[in-house]
Amino acid sequence: MVEQLADSRLRVEALSPEYQGHAEQWAQRLGLPLEDDTAGFAVQVGGDGLQIQQLGPQAPGPVRVDFVEGQAAHRRLFGGGSGQMIAKAVGIAQGVRPRVLDATAGLGKDAFVLASLGCEMQLIERQPLVAALLEDGLVRGRADAEVGPIAARMQLLKGNAIELMRNWQGEAPQVIYLDPMFPHRDKSALVKKEMRVFRPLVGDDLDAPALLEAALALATHRVVVKRPRKAPIIEGAKPSHSLEGKSSRYDIYPKKALKA
């Protein structure tokens, strides 16, 4: 069930009558009403799948997960392949495609990039609404001829990442990737749109030190933490080194070498 904050009430709505049944199913799954005139956000169901729309005159456009078109498609086709900084950070190299757990999956963008490069991915998302968007995006991705094989390498787990990592079942991931949501400012238009929608619903990851600790205990080979370029490191263990880009930085905590 989605927790409703006082300033971010939610309702579920169908964008056209043929999706009313789907809207009712999502409302039941998420524990949200179909009618609420005081709602500040709407979970909308339509031809493009599931999306969240902030309501009001100055609201940005809807947020959805789309692995087939748009930004994900552009990055898949023109993003730089294994030369991308995120690929280097997780240890992708010739003959090396590590098993990666993205413990703060969000909208799945980074996980999709790694899956498109050949990594087997597990994704954890604890916020039920974000997990619903991710689930919907993966279903549509798996139905696409080109994206299907990539989406098939992405397994979604729902719940608290710290608890799931501490009580992990099965083979441990070689690499754990963390991108906690911190109270920082980012002025890019895309991030602003998504953050305007998600900040009131998700909040910040104030348990990042515990998240890092659990990841370091579980990963067999390394932990990678994505941070804003000028942000301090997470409290706790210190990274051995970092890869720095224009706006982001990858702090790397190695345990042992990845080999082909």
Over the stretch 202-222, which tens digit does the pLDDT of each residue have?
Answer: 655 668 999 999 999 999 999
Query: The pTM is what?
Result: 0.90
- Residues annotated in a binding site for S-adenosyl-L-methionine: 125-126, 179
Given a cut of 60, whether residue 188 has pLDDT beyond it is no
List domains and CATH numbers for the chain: 10-54 (3.40.1630), 70-254 (3.40.50.150)
Over the stretch 48-89, which tens digit does the pLDDT of each residue have?
Answer: 999 999 898 888 889 999 999 878 777 777 666 788 999 999
- Residues annotated in a binding site: 125-126, 179
Look at strands 248-254 and 222-228 and give their pairing: antiparallel
Helix, strand, coil abundance in the chain, percent, nearest 5: 35, 20, 45
Instruction: Calculate the average pLDDT of the chain.
Output: 89
pLDDT of 9 reads 87
Given a cut of 80, whether residue 7 has pLDDT beyond it is no
pLDDT of 114 reads 96
pLDDT of 82 reads 85
User: Which amino acid appears at position 17 of this protein?
Assistant: P
Give 175's contacts (C-beta < 8 A, 6+ positions apart). Answer: 90, 91, 98, 99, 100, 101, 219, 221, 222, 223, 224, 258
> How many whole angstroms separate alpha carbon 23 and alpha carbon 205?
29
What is the rounded average pLDDT of the residues 96-121? 96
Given a cut of 50, whether residue 187 has pLDDT beyond it is no
